[in-house]
Amino acid sequence: MSADAISPTDAPLRPDAPLRPDAPGADDCAPSDIALKSFFLGPQAENAEWLRQIINQVFESYVRWRREVYPDDGRAISQNDRQSSEFQGRRRHFERELLDLLARFESEVPKYSPRYIGHMFSETSMPAMIGHVLTLLHNPNNISGESSRVGVKLEAEAIEALATMLGFFNQGDQTRQNSQGKASPRGHFTSGGTIANFEAMTRARSRMLRFIARGAQARERGTLPALSLVEAAHLGWARYDALRPDAPADTSGAESDPLASDLQAMNPFALAELLGQHFAQPYRGPVLLVGEHKHYSWVKGVELLGLGKEALWPVRLSAEGTLCIEHLEQRLNEAAAAGRPVLMVVSVAGTTELGAFDPIDAVQDLLDRRAAALGHHIWHHVDAAYGGFFAASVDSNEAGSALSEPVCHALKAIGRVNSVTLDPHKLGYVPYASGAFIARQAREYLAHRIDAPYLVFDEEARDPGPQTLEGSRSAAGAVATWLTARTIGLNNQGYGRILRRTLQARQRLEAALGELAHPVRMLPASSNLLGFCVGAPGESLSTINARSEALYTRFGPQGAGDFFVSKTSLGLEAYGALLHPLLTDWGVARDDADTTHLTVLRLSVMNPFIDAREMKLDLSRAFAQALSEALDALAKEGMFKGA
């Protein structure tokens, strides 16, 4: 049976299913909303025939290409070969194994469905899917142009599109431009946000060692005899160039610094001893400042770089659950007083737990003030793996972006920072695995380089190979992102419109949950993530957490499958400024000496069709109904009767 013959939408619904009252037809949709429907296969594979045509077109083009490149070589597989018993036997075996594989994947989590509101993935767009499949057929390795003539060029174009979305080409000051007056963001695609964060750390360290090397030389020569280690580590490019007689006129290309190379080649113990001698103070290594809501990749990163977990200095969170500016400033002062250079300050755009946005604008303002007052130029990285694509929704003056004013200010400030992590495989609706690292200035991107003797890198073509931590890299993520940027658009009317729909869907979910008779406790939300728990006044925190765990069993990947959610734990120490007032307001008993966290269910409202007006079922109210029934069932079983 063909996919078009299947009509799940015609299946009968349960009598008490929450239907949409007077659900409008497709003709009542705004043209812009109808256009969005052309970007996705659809919850019931409504665009299956069109997608099949496109896939056939891609495959036929690929077959034709293979036959036309060297047509006179002759065929290696003859008709007799294909008809032989050995060939046919292998073919039947392959087809049997494929059928088994297809059957196994039918039990996969249905992430394409609007009913999936669990982790940070959802439907993939058709342009991304096609770009991914096309690239898999050609199988380019984006380590260099030698193995990827087209892929590396498309990657550079995709990075430019992402950099434009983030505002790297919108800044007027000359520090964002090279000597020819052209904006110079550079970057590459990675396997995900974790590697992209590592890319930022290695470059920040390479820049820091360049600054320290020149500072040590200036101190030794008497040019800056009183320069401290912290001052040298945060020298800034202007002073660095002034201290370097061989400074290149064009800083948009690769540049070497023998002094820095010597430091980078040393083992950490010898480096500490040498710098201690040069600056007449012990060198204990740099620190990295990041909020208590950090992604766990930062813990991995300081370990991999040999800095130790001690180098990860946490910054307290505010009452909004975001980076506390006052404590960040205190941490910066503490690092300077301790003689510890700051490798980087990390802001988060779209936290893993709650989708919150740090005040990136205020963080950059603080760092700019310190640069002006103290001469300390500190690397500012934004981990926008999840929330970076929301920048597409603030590129116009259109009212009602559905994002709060502080979030809009934070997103607009990304163009001022040193580097950014993005995950197209999240809100870019691109297949896994696709992350991206982008630096605002080419010279900071190029600060880290390792060559391979058996590879030829074309600097003019911007081969990324010497700069990437990963060696072999598929071009699939880059091409998928390139095609989505060209078709959907990384702007207010493309991705911006899709993400606004998800924000509106989250608001509808909040409203539906708020109408329940059960005491649903929702955490503040600033994006399309929603965290909540259920707790009656007077209940203990441990009881609320146990109820969340029981609900996760019902709605998790091993549950009944009506809806899929995720869960997370918010530490009371890390999130105290946010949680303590909420727990007091909810009337939670505070005698749980052993309870150090709040467990919440987390909804990632990413699917663009969760609030589609043409669907029979009101999915927001259907989820609220399913939650209510689950709570009633728990109470009937003698568990958690208070809620």
**Could you tell me whether strands 597-604 and 566-571 are parallel, antiparallel, or unpaired per DSSP bridges?**
antiparallel
Report the predicted TM-score, pTM, of the whole model to 2 decimal places. 0.92
Multiple choice CATH, 151-239+284-487, 3.40.50.300, 3.40.640.10, 3.40.50.2300, 3.30.460.10: 3.40.640.10
Q: Which of 77-86, 249-258, 569-578, 580-589 has the lowest mean pLDDT?
A: 249-258
Q: How far is C-alpha 118 from the chain's CA centre?
A: 16
Residue 517 has what pLDDT?
95
The arithmetic mean of pLDDT across residues 161-183, rounded, is: 66
pLDDT tens digits for range 185-210: 999 999 999 999 999 999 999 999 99
Tokens linked to 240: 């660095």
**Could you tell me whether strands 419-422 and 380-384 are parallel, antiparallel, or unpaired per DSSP bridges?**
parallel
- Name residue, tokens 């965290």: 531
The arithmetic mean of pLDDT across residues 43-49, rounded, is: 96
pLDDT tens digits for range 276-326: 999 999 999 999 999 999 999 999 999 999 999 999 999 999 999 999 999
Whether the per-residue pLDDT at 527 is higher than 70: the answer is yes
Residue 264 has what pLDDT?
82
The arithmetic mean of pLDDT across residues 527-540, rounded, is: 95
- Name residue, tokens 């329940």: 516
- pLDDT averaged over the chain? 89
Whether the per-residue pLDDT at 52 is higher than 90: the answer is yes
Residue 411 has what pLDDT?
97
DSSP state of 317: B
pLDDT tens digits for range 199-256: 999 999 999 999 999 999 999 899 999 999 999 999 999 999 999 877 666 666 667 7
CATH of domain 1-74+112-123+502-643: 3.90.1150.10
> Which residues lie closer than 8 Å to 225 by C-beta, 6 or more apart?
219
Highest mean pLDDT among 6-15, 396-405, 611-620: 611-620
Reference 139, options 127, 149, 124; nearest CA is 149
User: Which residues on neighbouring strands pair with residue 421, listed in sequence order?
Assistant: 383, 437
- Name residue, tokens 């500012």: 380
Burial class (CB in 10 A: 0-12, 13-18, 19+), 22: exposed
The arithmetic mean of pLDDT across residues 594-608, rounded, is: 93
Residue 593 has what pLDDT?
62
Regarding predicted confidence, which is higher, 170 or 49? 49
Residue 173 has what pLDDT?
43
Residue 1 has what pLDDT?
39
Taking the C-alpha atoms of residue 440 and residue 168, their distance in angstroms, rounded to an integer, is 6
User: Which residues on neighbouring strands pair with residue 589, listed in sequence order?
Assistant: 540
pLDDT tier at 642, thresholds 50, 70, 90: low
In single-letter form, the type of residue at position 611 comes to D
Residue 176 has what pLDDT?
40
Whether the per-residue pLDDT at 619 is higher than 90: the answer is yes
Angle value at C-alpha 121, between 120 and 125, nearest 5 degrees: 140
Whether the per-residue pLDDT at 65 is higher than 60: the answer is yes
Tokens linked to 303: 């370990």
Whether the per-residue pLDDT at 4 is higher than 60: the answer is no
**For residues 286 and 271, is the Cβ–Cβ distance under 8 A?**
no
Residue 126 has what pLDDT?
98
Residue 30 has what pLDDT?
73
Residue 623 has what pLDDT?
96
SS3 letters for 336-388? HHCCCCEEEEEEEECCCCCCCECCHHHHHHHHHHHHHHHCCCCCEEEEECCHH
Q: Please state the domain extents for the chain.
A: 1-74+112-123+502-643, 151-239+284-487
pLDDT tens digits for range 464-494: 778 899 989 999 999 999 999 999 999 999 9
Residue 455 has what pLDDT?
57
Residue 373 has what pLDDT?
97
What DSSP element (H or E) covers 435? strand 435-439
What are residue 424's phi and psi, to 5 degrees? Answer: -55, -25
Whether the per-residue pLDDT at 26 is higher than 60: the answer is no
Residue 251 has what pLDDT?
64
Helices (H), 375-494: 405-412, 442-445, 476-487
Taking the C-alpha atoms of residue 487 and residue 485, their distance in angstroms, rounded to an integer, is 6
pLDDT tier at 519, thresholds 50, 70, 90: very high
Q: Which of 121-135, 139-153, 355-369, 520-534 has the lowest mean pLDDT?
A: 139-153
User: Which residues on neighbouring strands pair with residue 183, listed in sequence order?
Assistant: 177
What are residue 44's phi and psi, to 5 degrees? Answer: -110, 25
Whether the per-residue pLDDT at 89 is higher than 70: the answer is yes
The arithmetic mean of pLDDT across residues 315-344, rounded, is: 98
Reference 308, options 286, 335, 330, 328; nearest CA is 286
Regarding predicted confidence, which is higher, 183 or 580? 580
- Name residue, tokens 């200036």: 218
User: Which residues on neighbouring strands pair with residue 532, listed in sequence order?
Assistant: 522, 601
